[in-house]
Structure formats: structure tokens, C-alpha cells
Amino acid sequence: MKFMDLLRKLGILRYGFKSGTYTSTKDMPPELFQEDVYDAQKDLLHRDDIKAAAAAIKQGGGRKVFYWVSLVIGVLFLILFLVGVKISLWFLVDLFLWAGFLILAGRFAYEGRYSYLAMSALAAATLFVSLLLLGAAAP
């Protein structure tokens, strides 16, 4: 889908016109009885659009979202760790733990390795161990 088509589907960009004379609403195209619809084929969502979006997510989009969300959560945990206990042995252990997890998450996202279930379990375990390390490092 091109950028201009995306803007049209989101309702940000609208242009065009349609005119005609119809005797009943059944015969009317959507452009004439719906507000802000200038080209029904391009402005309205259709089943093909939804199928294309679902196919894009199945091809790896969801995996990449999982990776980037994990990366952000990992950075936030490391910042929390730094604020709480400064640089210590516990921080280095947590840093290596998150680095290992993010390497595996990168392989999951970009090479298609591992399953969603395995990565979700590993993410939960990494978060839990990181919290345990933070608790152990707290004075």
C-alpha cells in the first residue's frame, strides 16, 4: 500500500468527486450517501485490505513489534537499575541477562527462529529475574 493510499484510508487526505442521478438508495454508490467519501474503492476499508494487513503481520510484523517492545522494556529496566543501585556487579549481571535475551529476540524477529510461546516465556523469565536482581542489589 502506498503512502497516499494509507492517508486516504485513515481519513487524513480526501479528494475527488462523484456525480449522478439515481432513483433509489440501492442504486446509489457509497460516494453519494456517505459524507467525506469521494472514491469508495480507495477511501473505504474492504476485506482485501484487512487480509493484506493480516498477511503482513503474519509475515513477521508481529515478531518485529515484539522485539522492539522488548528492547524498550529492557532499556527501561536497565535505567531503573542504574537509578536504584548505580553501576555494580548486579547491574552487570542484569545487563548481560538483557543482552542475551535481546540477541535471542533479534533472531526471533529477523530470522524467524523460536516460537511465540518460547519467547514470551523467556521474556517473562527475564523480567522476573531482572526484578529479583534489582531486589538483591537494593541496599
Name the pTM for this structure: 0.55
Print pLDDT tens along the chain (139 aa).
677 777 766 767 666 666 667 777 777 766 666 666 666 665 666 677 777 777 766 666 678 888 888 899 988 888 888 887 778 888 888 889 999 999 999 888 888 888 888 889 999 999 999 888 888 877 7
For the chain, what are the domain ranges? 3-43, 60-137
CA atoms of 111 and 114, how far apart (whole Å): 9
Pair 129, 97: CB distance under 8 Å: yes
Q: How would DSSP label each residue in 29-50?
A: -HHHHSTT-S-HHHHS--HHHH
| 54, amino acid identity | A
What pLDDT sits at residue 56? 65
CA–centroid distance for 84 within its chain: 30
Q: Name the nearest CA neighbour of 97 among 117, 78, 120.
A: 78
